[in-house]
Amino acid sequence: MKIVLVGRYGEGDILTGPERVARELFSELTKNNIQAVFVDYYFSGYEGSSLLKKIFGKEYIHNSLILRLGIFPFLFMLHQKKFEIIHIVNSQRFILFLLLLNPFFSGRIVTTVHGFIRNEIPSKNIWKKRYFIDLWVEKFLVKKSKLLIFPSKLLFETFNKHYKISQKKYQIIPNGVSKIFWNRATSFPHFENSIKLVFYKGFNDGINRGLDKLLDMMKYMKNEVELFVIGKKVEVKPEKNIKIYFTNSMSHAEMINFVSDKHFIIKSCAYDTFPIIVAECMTLGLIPIISQNIGIKDIIEHGINGFVYNSSSSNELSELMNEIYQGKYDLNLISANAKETSKALGWEKITEKYLSAYKSIL
């Protein structure tokens, strides 16, 4: 099976979720002796990127199996190599050329979908920064892909409402967890005075992950909590029972050390398709607290391996936190169950699902 993975590979060790999925999947495919190459592009944020390179550039990254190509070398390689599977691992604008010229290539297109553009871009900003191109790419991906991979039922249902995707054209395969998170023995930290929560806000001002809404929902708690926010520091309305600390982006090793004394990973009501950080924290023994708008709810059972609250109720989250303080739940058991659940998300197992998906369309 000849496979080419196409998308953003990223630079450095601190990556976005879609970039991490791309790297992990490619690494596992090569470990399984699958004939695979990865094609990255000269994105504007990359060091040394230029208009000339975006059109004609070609270079190897790390080894001969990972290439950075301009548009013409990219299209020529696809035509020449005759890949059986062309896997778009994360959607990027340069892929539009591949989609428009699809009849000239022999490979069958598989796309891993990470988000729904119409949810992420307000209609008033559609012409800002040429966001309409992203909408075109999304539309053509649905039309031209032989198979669409969604990380959660939540994202599929969102897409299906708009595009009406046939049952044969999609599969649901969750995102995986890197091996580095599996090698650390942990026990649920004891707490007396305050619960420690981790919240990922991120560093992209264009994505609202609902920090303000989360704080508003937690203000009815009777006890004190410490909220550790991974992301760009912002001014927030202070609440007397919530202490807030902001922290910068971290490598995997730094992340593991950072959460070692934390109790929960919490998400707001903001829509999120499948947050990898929640799965990683579950692997480390943190208990997830999420709303019904979070895709990873597919694997979380309330009170068994985590908690799912209804964000339409203004005080349900506060009531849940009060119950946790009152000792209603066996947190050691829930933490152990969270770790056990996350074992299904090892990249070896996720890659097996992808290989099966490839074979299903050949």
87 φ, ψ (degrees, to nearest 5): -100, 110
Spans of the chain, pLDDT less than 50? none
pLDDT at site 145: 95
CA-angle at 334, arms to 332 and 339, nearest 5° = 95
The whole-angstrom separation of Cα 179 and Cα 24 is 10
Helices marked H in the chain — which ranges?
17-31, 51-56, 71-81, 95-100, 117-120, 131-144, 153-163, 211-218, 252-258, 276-283, 316-325, 331-342, 347-359
Q: Quickly name the fold that domain 2-176+346-359 has.
A: Rossmann fold (3.40.50)
Residue pair 294/275 in contact (Cβ under 8 Å)? The answer is: yes
pLDDT at site 126: 54
Each residue of 61-96: pLDDT tens digit? 878 899 999 999 999 999 999 999 999 999 899 999
Q: Beta partners for 276? A: none
Each residue of 147-159: pLDDT tens digit? 999 999 999 999 9
Report DSSP letters for 22-34, one per residue: HHHHHHHHHHTT-
The whole-angstrom separation of Cα 41 and Cα 49 is 9
Residue pair 286/265 in contact (Cβ under 8 Å)? The answer is: yes
Whether the CA torsion 210, 215, 220, 225 is positive or negative: it is: positive
pLDDT at site 125: 57
Of the candidates 98, 49, 109, the one whose C-alpha atom is nearest the C-alpha of residue 72 is 98
The whole-angstrom separation of Cα 139 and Cα 41 is 21
pLDDT at site 133: 85
pLDDT at site 220: 83
The whole-angstrom separation of Cα 340 and Cα 306 is 12
pLDDT at site 109: 96
Each residue of 301-356: pLDDT tens digit? 999 999 999 988 878 999 999 999 999 999 999 999 999 999 999 999 999 999 99
10: DSSP letter = -
Residue pair 11/47 in contact (Cβ under 8 Å)? The answer is: yes
pTM: 0.90
Give the CA radius of gyration of the chain.
21
The domain limits of the chain are 2-176+346-359, 179-344
Q: Beta partners for 109? A: 86
Question: Would strands 58-61 and 63-69 be described as parallel, antiparallel, or unpaired?
Answer: antiparallel
Per CATH, 2-176+346-359 and 179-344 having the same topology is answered yes
| Distance of alpha carbon 234 from the chain centroid | 23
Tokens standing for residue 118:
């119409």
pLDDT at site 338: 95
What superfamily would CATH give domain 179-344?
Glycogen Phosphorylase B; (3.40.50.2000)
The whole-angstrom separation of Cα 217 and Cα 317 is 6
Whether the CA torsion 344, 349, 351, 356 is positive or negative: it is: negative
